[in-house]
A and B are shown apart, each in its own frame.
Chain A
């Protein structure tokens, strides 16, 4: 099981701030494929990966990063702090 978190418009499109996901996905990209296949709202959130960022255990990562040992995955748009 892995905790999957969503922020900003990704959270709004999916309709959840976080959920626990049972997955055997090897990489972030594999997990995204699984989620996209679930329902239209996930497809809508993950349609354009260039407009998304991912963090693994609260560190920025890439979509081809492995998920082995990861407890928390977060998806969000590019950050707008400051």
Chain B
């Protein structure tokens, strides 16, 4: 299990390749990547704040719970902070499991929990100014299915 919280960009292809090469004997690797939207050109970027210390612990806790719930060979979470431009990757998760059902479910679980339980706050930047992204009720509701 690897958790990285960083401001630098990551190489999605290299990360998935390295993650896949390191797990042996599994049948499935699922990866998800979250990108900065441009909202039809309205956004000039995004600034992501986080809580150093708590962020790493919270993500490790979420990833650890995924490992307990599903038959996973490995989990990778990379989440960036700082200023990002539209199209840039904000974060990624990858899960490896003997079968795809567990890999997909664990990846969705990780995404649902990272959204509302990892201490990140997104601010959208546009020509008109900046605005904190409000959490959605739907994101909180998404946790209930687990």
Contact = CB atoms under 8 A, between A and B. Distances in A.
Interface of A: 5, 7-9, 11, 55, 58-60, 74, 76-82
A5 B51 contact: yes
A49 to B, nearest CB: 15
Contacts of B91: 81-82
Interface in B115-130: 115-123
A55 B133 contact: no
Given A74-B54, A79-B117, A79-B120, A7 B49 contact: yes
A80 B54 contact: no
Contacts of B140: 78
Given A81-B79, A82-B115, A58 B132 contact: no
B57 interface: yes
A7 B117 contact: no
23 contacts: A7-B121, A8-B121, A8-B123, A9-B132, A55-B51, A55-B54, A58-B54, A58-B57, A59-B57, A60-B117, A74-B51, A74-B54, A76-B51, A76-B121, A77-B132, A78-B116, A78-B134, A79-B121, A80-B132, A81-B114, A81-B116, A82-B118, A82-B120
Interface size class of B (residues with CB under 8 A): 20 to 34
A55 B51 CA distance: 10
Q: From DSSP, what is the main secondary structure of chain B's interface residues? A: mixed
Contacts of A58: 51, 53-54, 57-58
Nearest to B137: A78
A81 B118 contact: yes
Given A8-B132, A60-B117, A80 B122 contact: yes
A80 B53 contact: no
B56 to A, nearest CB: 9
Contacts of B132: 8-9, 77, 80
A72 to B, nearest CB: 9
Contact of B49 (A8, A55, A60, A82): A8
A81 B51 contact: no
A3 to B, nearest CB: 11
A79 B122 CA distance: 8
